[in-house]
Amino acid sequence: MTANNYANHIATLTRTYSDALQYVSNQDTQPASVLVHSGAQEHYYGDDRGVAFQAYGHLLHWIPVNRPNQFVYFRPDAKPVYFQIVPCDFWHEQDIGIEPEWEETLAIVRLSNLDELCAQLKQYRVADIAYIGGHADIAASLGIDKSLINPKRLLAYLDFSRAVKTGYELEQLREANCIALLGHAAAKARFLEGRSEYEIHMAFLQATQSLEDECPYTNIVALNEKAAILHYQFKRKTIKGQGRVLLIDAGCCVKGYGSDITRTSVSEDVHPKFQSLVIAMEALELALVDEVKPGKTYQSLHESTLSRIAHILVDHNICKGEVADLIELNVPQLFMPHGVGHLLGIQVHDVGGHQSDIDGTILPPPENSPALRNTRVMEADMVFTVEPGLYFIPLILEAERRSDRSKLINWNAVDELYPCGGIRIEDNIRVTSDGAENLTRQFE
């Protein structure tokens, strides 16, 4: 099924790129073809050690090769060409395996350096080639016209289009979810054994058979109060006492497509109110998924999240007063300062989240939720995360002690829950023709 899905995927990309070139040719630029570049190897300043490489998303959209200086050349009247540069090098492994489905859908030309690529491109009209990628210097060395290096309208069209997934992409995302859940199960087991953040992190990697650099993002493994740091990056090797709360945000990558899953677990001796909050947030997240359907705006899902958070805060006596007052005064945002989710695919925070059209018109997030990463209208086969959170963040809440909103907060409850950190529940969601497919829960 993968080979057929991949062929259909390339056919879809061919139509998208053809339409994109036709679209921009009627605007301010007139490229006849596109050269997509994976990127070049970078090194730490003053060092010969390479930074972990990550290929450009639009290259991975064509072919899952996470290597420097790989190129796909596309023009509407010909088979796409994969220029596979394999350096002559005895210091590192450089070979790149060829999958049968690639040979069926792409013309593969093996080269050893950029000079050979430059010679290859001379058979085309280099003056009409648009380059997309992160290295304008390499584009210039290949003879690409400066005006055709990352044309804004072309990139806007391609970025916007990536939100809707093909069957091939959905296949990879389902598998990435399935594998990641093995890691989450192993991580939870180590947490309940009283293990450290480091040991929990390593259990996730071992269960998913992943290297750290192969993960789609840096795993967040936060015990207790560290769960209040949204992108907590460390892995403590020791903990004081038994861990009572684990927030783990971790995913896996399959052929360039990443899952992004968060779970919050608690031990039996956790604060009873916090345990009740975790149960309430689990129910809230599933209720939000039930709201997903084509034609709905992602902002409305975020607004629903804030309303539901307000109810939980009142029901648990963390906040006082009427729910409507909390919403009007943006009190829920004190406990959930991030958006309810983001587009997902080749990149964890995938491109085009704030675009309202192929022209690149930006629809910014609302003023009361500036961290919302997605303002798109939901479409069938669009994939995004749904990840409501509820945190006790001293940096945010302590600043409210003397504010007008202070009277709406039960500070005794907040002080008691600070050591628990926070809660986030996150699933990966595909929009269907009439609702949603939960790419995560179907494997639990």
Do 282 and 200 contact (CB within 8 A), yes or no? no
Per-residue pLDDT, averaged over 323-330, amounts to: 98
* pLDDT at site 46: 97
**Mean pLDDT, residues 372-393 taken together:** 98
Q: What is the pLDDT of residue 1?
A: 58
Residue type, 391: Y
Q: Is residue 107 within 8 Å of residue 10, measured between CB atoms?
A: no
Q: What is the pLDDT of residue 239?
A: 85
**Contact in structure between 432 and 177 (CB atoms under 8 Å):** no
Residue 18 phi, psi dihedral angles, 5° rounding: -65, -45
Residue 444: pLDDT band with limits 50, 70, 90: confident
Given this structure, which CATH class describes domain 167-443?
Answer: alpha beta
Closest CA to 423 of 392, 395, 397: 392
Q: What is the spatial distance between Cα 57 and Cα 35, in angstroms, rounded to a whole number?
A: 13
Rounded-to-integer distance, Cα 427 and Cα 288, Å:
11
Q: Choose the weakest-confidence range: 1-15, 98-112, 287-301, 410-424.
A: 1-15
pLDDT at 110 over 90: yes
- The average pLDDT across 11-23 equals 97
Using the structure block, give the residue that is written with the tokens 């992190």: 201
State the fold for domain 2-161: Creatine Amidinohydrolase; Chain A, domain 1 (3.40.350)
- pLDDT digit string (tens) for 132-185? 999 999 999 999 999 999 999 999 999 999 999 999 999 999 999 999 999 999
- Predicted local confidence at residue 329, as pLDDT: 98
| More confidently predicted of 210 and 28 | 210
User: Is the pLDDT at 3 greater than 90, yes or no?
Assistant: no
- Identity of the amino acid at 26: N
Express each pLDDT in 388-442 by its tens digit.
Answer: 999 999 999 999 999 999 999 999 999 999 999 999 999 999 999 999 999 999 9
Whether pLDDT at 26 is above 80: no
Most distant CA atoms of the chain, gap in Å: 73
What burial letters (b/e) apply to 339-375, b meaning 16+ CB within 10 Å?
A: bbbbbbbbbbebbbbbbeebebeebebeeebeebbbb
Q: Binning pLDDT at 50, 70 and 90, where does residue 30 land?
A: confident
Give the side-chain half-sphere CA count within 13 A for 195: 18
Round to whole Å and give the CA distance between 241 and 95: 48
Q: Which residues contact 250 (CB under 8 A, 6 or more apart)?
A: 180, 183, 184, 187, 204, 215, 219, 220, 221, 261, 262
Model pLDDT, residue 156: 98
Write down the pLDDT at residue 28.
62
Written as six digits, the tokens of 280 are 């309430």
Tell me the pLDDT tens digit for each residue of 205-253: 999 999 999 999 999 999 999 999 999 999 999 987 778 999 999 999 9
Mean pLDDT, range 4-27, rounded to an integer: 94
3-state secondary structure 259-274: CCEEEEEECCCCCHHH
Say what the pLDDT of residue 240 is: 78
Please say if the pLDDT value at position 382 is more than 90: yes
**Average pLDDT, integer, range 284-312:** 98
At 81, give phi and psi (nearest 5°): -110, 130
Closest CA to 253 of 186, 177, 169: 177
pLDDT given at position 290: 98
Mean pLDDT of the chain: 97
DSSP 276: H
Q: Say what the pTM is.
A: 0.97
CATH 3.40.350.10-classified regions of the chain: 2-161
Reference 334, options 373, 392, 277, 284; nearest CA is: 392
* DSSP state letter for 245: E
